[in-house]
Amino acid sequence: MRTIAEINQKIKKGSVVVVTAEEIIDLVARKGAKKASQEVDVVTTGTFGPMCSSGAYFNIGHSKPKIKIGGGSCKLNDVPAYTGFAAVDIFLGATALPDDDPRNKVYPVEFKYGGGHVIQELLEGKDIRLEATSYGTDCYPRKKLETLIKLEDLNEAVLFNIRNCYQNYNVAVNLSEKMIYTYMGALKPQMGNANYCSAGQLSPLLKDPLYKTIGIGTRIFLGGGIGYVAWQGTQHNPMAPRKENQVPSSGAGTLAVIGDLKQMKAQWLRGTSMLGYGVSLTVGIGIPIPILSEEICAYAAVRDEEIYAQVVDYGSDYPQAVTRSLGEVNYAQLKSGKITVQGKEIPTGALSSYSRAKEIAEELKSWIKDGEFVLSEPVAGLPGAESGYKFKPLKERPIQ
């Protein structure tokens, strides 16, 4: 039908036809997948939700005299960064907490500040306090470093998220008798609310369910800048059960993504606090789907009504690693504000912002239309539904 190279030619000429993952739904409903696939070159997707396996690595440059932070300790605004690299390379994880955070000692703690917030403040151009200690060597004699740093002064600042963009997710409820505080938000007792976390019909991997176009090397909208799919994400689980439309009905594929933090925006990477749980980073991602066939177009046109998720009890089942679904609901039901589970009507809440996901899909669409963003050919595919690639639980073995 068309190739990515041909789409890029059209982008350069300014004649490319781009629609969002919402707009393709109406188009296919009106004209059918065949006609729509002939007309549309690219469908843009978007998602904006808390993604805990996010972080960034930095090269801070060498001080005079030099210090070997590698193997020592390093804190950014009191939040510890990982130092097990060379002299001045560090990695800051989104969920890292200052050592003096109360950590649920006065349950539930608010978790006001952590790694995700440091990343947001770097993007806001703020000065960050760096405090490092080391043991001193002949070539790196310094043992202590205290300095202000900011994003523009760093050599490299690279966002590297090892699991983002979950293809579908649980709907969380609480069957217990007391309020619980989870990574899915506060859950009232006896199924008082149901929280979900997906952009549904706008979400990248739900619109390319078999990873026919999204692969390693795919260029994406990441945190307001340009990034790439680096690998499949951790816990990638392509063998998860799928409906007839090939859309998984529970958490399935994931992506590891990477990009230059310096061109990203605080608006699309937000430090996030989950009461009683911890801190995280809310990440904005948009992925273009090149319409290379009628089939890819039909997949991209899947609607909220056709995407199902499992309702899971976080009061007991989830913490005890009991796999059980209390029922199945679709995203149209979730977005209506109420779902019915085991005969009970439950109000719903979202962790993932649909309105921001839509903005991302629109923004990526305008980048492509304006010729600022060309598509990349993936260099390798992601492990797919037939690959045998699985997400396994830990087998605990006693230490002798």
Partner 1 sequence: MLSKRIVLHFPHRLVDQPIIYKLVKDFNLGFNILKASVTPQEEGLMVLELSGEDIDFNKGMKYLEDSGVRVQPLSEDIVRNSAKCTDCGMCVPICPANAFVIDPVSRKVIFEEDKCIACELCIKICPTHAMEINF
**Interface residues toward partner 1, by CB under 8 A:** 48-50, 108, 110, 112, 185-186, 188, 192-195, 270-275, 280, 282, 335, 337, 346-356, 358
Distance CA 44, CA 366 (A): 10
Question: At its nearest, how many Å lie between partner 1 and the CB of residue 118?
Answer: 15
165 is catalytic: no
Output DSSP code: residue 210.
T
CA distance 132 to 144: 6
CB closer to partner 1, 274 vs 311: 274
Could you give phi then psi for residue 327, rounded to 5 degrees? 155, 170
Strands (E), 67-141: 73-76, 79-81, 89-93, 128-133
Q: Which is nearer to partner 1, 83 or 272 (CB)?
A: 272
Spatial separation of the C-alpha atoms in residues 118 and 114, rounded to whole Å: 7
Give CA angle at 163 (160, 167), nearest 5°.
Answer: 135
| Bridge partners, 269 (sequence order) | 283
Cβ of residue 390: shortest distance to partner 1, in angstroms? Answer: 31
What are the residue ranges of helices labelled H in the chain? Answer: 4-13, 23-39, 115-123, 204-207, 294-300, 331-335, 354-369
To the nearest 10°, the Cα dihedral for 218, 222, 227, 233?
-60
Nearest CB to partner 1, comparing residues 109 and 247: 109
Q: How far is the CB of 337 from partner 1 (least distance, A)?
A: 7
Catalytic residue among 52, 139, 165, 297: 139
The answer to whether residues 302 and 207 touch, using CB atoms and an 8 Å cutoff, is yes
Which residue, 149 or 275, is less far from partner 1 as judged by CB? 275
CB of 204 to partner 1, least distance (A): 18
Residue 348 Cβ, how far from partner 1 at the closest point, in Å?
6
Which is nearer to partner 1, 8 or 45 (by Cβ)?
Answer: 45
Where in the sequence numbering do the catalytic residues fall? Answer: 139
